[in-house]
């Protein structure tokens, strides 16, 4: 028995020694990963870590009793310089719309047996429709995993090298027209000669791992803690009318999200689930670019700030200040309001600006 243990130990030590580098002189130097060059995330600012007193303000006496102030420490984090704008959120919505259109085109091209050489809808066929230029890995994945999903098209690559055509005068064939027709509202729901997108079709699907669930039950399999979400991404533009019952906000309902005049304004009418989906997409979008750069590291996941992070950033380093500019006055020495909010018993226009 002792001899067996000795032999096993000898083999294990030999294997470990053989994994060392020729230049480490037999020392424990660690495993060298990819070169990493930290960079400031685009459009974000670093909020240095620290501690602050979090909780209700002194003038909210009822709230102070329910939620007493406490000292909270937060680590450093990056946060967007501004709110997510209409233009930025439209990038997300358009990406979802285009991806759905490309998927529908590729599926129909597959069903009718069209390939890129056939032109028309064939140009939008899945990339694996032509296996000639596939790598060994791509061929392996195609042969072993194609069809292993609810639709049978999971994992197949879309052809994004060809621009989508949105002008009805330029549709290449009847198959392309058929797909585009499904993305618009029915003719009976159109008015003033304008047919609009069926925004309920703009759904973003993503998966994530429920780390909390996995940590609390270590006996679960990995597939049991992977959650799939499917979210409609178009913002609810009716909030302009529903939330402001006694004002004429129909123009904002019609124009605010899509019109270029409001591109740099904050997006509104977005739910928490849509905001979470936006973060997932932003991570996916950035990392798809990182993968195209040889040796580039993937970025950490974008996410919404926690309550503590939000309050810490909003306070701007001031302790127990009523407002982030440091005092309890709402107007400057010239009589201008210091921020955009609802002043004077609900008179939104009292600061000389009805909107932001």
Give SS3 for 54: strand
Could you read off the pLDDT of 231-251 as tens digits, one per residue? Answer: 999 999 999 898 877 778 899
Checking if the pLDDT of 350 tops 90, the result is no
- pLDDT (mean) for 17-27: 67
221-229's contacts with Cβ under 8 Å and 24+ in sequence apart are 229/205, 229/273, 229/277
**Partner residues linked to 45 by β-bridges:** 79
CA dist 178 → 12, 101, 111, 121, 262 (Å): 64, 11, 13, 10, 33
**Confidence label for 7 from pLDDT (cuts 50, 70 and 90):** very low
Could you read off the pLDDT of 39-58 as tens digits, one per residue? Answer: 899 999 999 999 998 877 65
Could you read off the pLDDT of 291-345 as tens digits, one per residue? Answer: 888 878 899 999 999 999 999 998 888 887 778 888 778 888 888 888 877 777 7
Mean pLDDT: which of 86-90, 191-195, 204-208, 218-222 is highest?
86-90
- As a whole number of angstroms, the distance between CA 74 and CA 126 comes to 46
Measured at the CA of 304, the angle between CA 299 and CA 307, to 5 degrees, comes to: 135
What is this structure's pTM? 0.85
Can you give the pLDDT at residue 4?
43
Could you read off the pLDDT of 131-172 as tens digits, one per residue? Answer: 777 888 888 888 888 777 788 888 788 999 999 999 999 999
Q: Which helix (H) or strand (E) holds 71?
A: strand 70-74
């Amino acid at each position: 028995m002792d001899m067996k243990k000795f032999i096993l130990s000898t083999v294990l030590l030999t294997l470990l020694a053989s994994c060392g580098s020729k230049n480490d002189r037999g020392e424990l130097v660690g495993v060298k990963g990819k070169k990493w060059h930290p960079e400031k995330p685009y459009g974000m600012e670093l909020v240095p870590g620290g501690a602050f007193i979090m909780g209700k303000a002194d003038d909210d006496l009822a709230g102070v009793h329910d939620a007493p102030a406490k000292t909270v420490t937060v680590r450093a984090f990056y946060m967007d310089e501004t709110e997510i704008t209409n233009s930025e959120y439209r990038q997300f919505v358009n990406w979802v719309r285009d991806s759905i259109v490309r998927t529908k085109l590729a599926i129909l091209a597959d069903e009718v047996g069209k390939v890129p050489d056939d032109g028309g809808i064939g140009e939008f066929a899945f990339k694996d429709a032509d296996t000639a230029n596939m790598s060994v890995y791509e061929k392996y994945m195609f042969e072993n995993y194609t069809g292993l999903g609810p639709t049978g098209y999971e994992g197949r690559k879309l052809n994004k090298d060809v621009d989508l055509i949105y002008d009805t005068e330029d549709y290449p064939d009847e198959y392309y027209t058929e797909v585009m027709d499904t993305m618009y509202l029915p003719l009976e729901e159109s008015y003033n000669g304008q047919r609009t997108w069926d925004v309920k079709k703009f759904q973003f699907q993503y998966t994530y791992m429920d780390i909390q669930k996995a940590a609390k039950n270590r006996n679960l399999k990995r597939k049991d803690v992977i959650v799939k979400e499917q979210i409609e991404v178009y913002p609810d533009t009716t909030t302009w009318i529903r939330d402001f019952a006694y004002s004429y906000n129909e123009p904002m309902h019609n124009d605010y999200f899509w019109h270029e005049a409001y591109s740099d304004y904050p997006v509104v009418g977005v739910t928490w689930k849509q905001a979470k989906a936006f973060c997932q997409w932003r991570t996916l979008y950035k990392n798809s670019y990182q993968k195209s750069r040889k040796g580039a590291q993937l970025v950490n996941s974008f996410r919404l700030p926690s309550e503590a992070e939000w309050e810490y950033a909003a306070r701007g380093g001031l302790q127990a200040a009523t407002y982030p500019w440091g005092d309890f006055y709402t107007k400057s020495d010239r009589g201008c309001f210091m921020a955009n909010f609802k002043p004077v018993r609900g008179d939104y226009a009292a600061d000389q600006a009805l909107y932001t």
